[in-house]
Amino acid sequence: MGIISRIKKETAIIRERDPAIHSNMEVFLYPSFRVMMHYRLAHKFYLHRHYFIARLISQRAVRKTGIEIHPGATIGEGLFIDHGNGVVIGETAIIGNNVTLYQGVTLGGTGKEHGKRHPTLKDNVMVSCGARVLGSFTVGENSKIGAGSVVLNEVPPNCTVVGVPGRIVKRDNVAIPRETLDQIHLPDPVMDDINRLSKENKELKERLDELEKCLSAIGNQTV
């Protein structure tokens, strides 16, 4: 893809997904646009084993945008990084098409092992701000990672993950539309457990009160 076509494509992606952008000229100031243009160039050098030049370009992008994408990462079309400061994408990370990352997201490894050590994000995945996805596993299509979550294990398609460590919440295998970028209204399994325990505790107290009343009535009759 030529440079003009690439600019038009990246501009369209940002305009589509960020309502704060009011003109094409604003896109040129956008961190996501700048870092992706740097990444595409750095990745070409990386594939041709010009590792120093590739890292030089990527580190320049880090200084300008606050987003660190290793030139060895494999990224599909339509990646959107909203705001983006603090985003880190590791060398062996693989990102599919139409993926959305928010600020502070880390796609990292869990050690100094060699080979594939970073996650794979399939198409239409959304990772909310501050989330950490660590290790060599796959996050399936249409899945969503809640803000601040730490994901350490495989995520099937069409799931939502929240919490530390991340817990999967099934959604009846119904695909989550790509344009659904809601970071707030996510399931909260921890609060669900607390509410369930609270309800059970209330029921036990009511049953205990009834039992005490029965014992008291029996005692009065005996007297």
Q: Please name which of 101, 102, 114, 31 lies closest in space to residue 72, comparing C-alpha atoms.
A: 114
Q: What is the pTM of this model?
A: 0.70
Q: Residue 50's pLDDT is what?
A: 95
Tens digits of residue pLDDT in 42-82: 999 999 999 999 999 999 999 989 999 999 999 998 898 98
Domain ranges for the chain, please list them.
3-187, 188-223
Burial zone of 204 (CB within 10 Å; 0-12 exposed, 13-18 middle, 19+ buried): exposed
Q: How far apart are CA 186 and CA 43, in angstroms?
A: 35
106 bridge partner residues: 88, 132
Q: Residue 185's pLDDT is what?
A: 56
Query: For residue 176, what pLDDT band results from cuts at 50, 70 and 90?
Result: very low
Q: Residue 47's pLDDT is what?
A: 95
Helix locations, 22-89, DSSP H: 24-27, 31-47, 51-65
Tens digits of residue pLDDT in 103-155: 999 999 877 667 889 999 999 999 999 999 999 999 999 999 988 899 998 99
Q: Residue 178's pLDDT is what?
A: 44
> What are the C-alpha distances in Å from 182 to residues 100, 147, 178, 188?
11, 11, 11, 14
Burial zone of 169 (CB within 10 Å; 0-12 exposed, 13-18 middle, 19+ buried): middle
Q: Residue 17's pLDDT is what?
A: 75
Q: How far apart are CA 93 and CA 37, in angstroms?
A: 18
Across the range 165-179, mean pLDDT stands at 62
SS3 43: helix
Given 1.10.10.60, 2.40.160.10, 2.160.10.10, 3.40.50.2300, which CATH number is that of 3-187?
Answer: 2.160.10.10
With 50 as the cut, is the pLDDT of residue 179 above it?
no
Percentages (nearest 5) of helix, strand, coil residues in the chain: 40, 15, 45
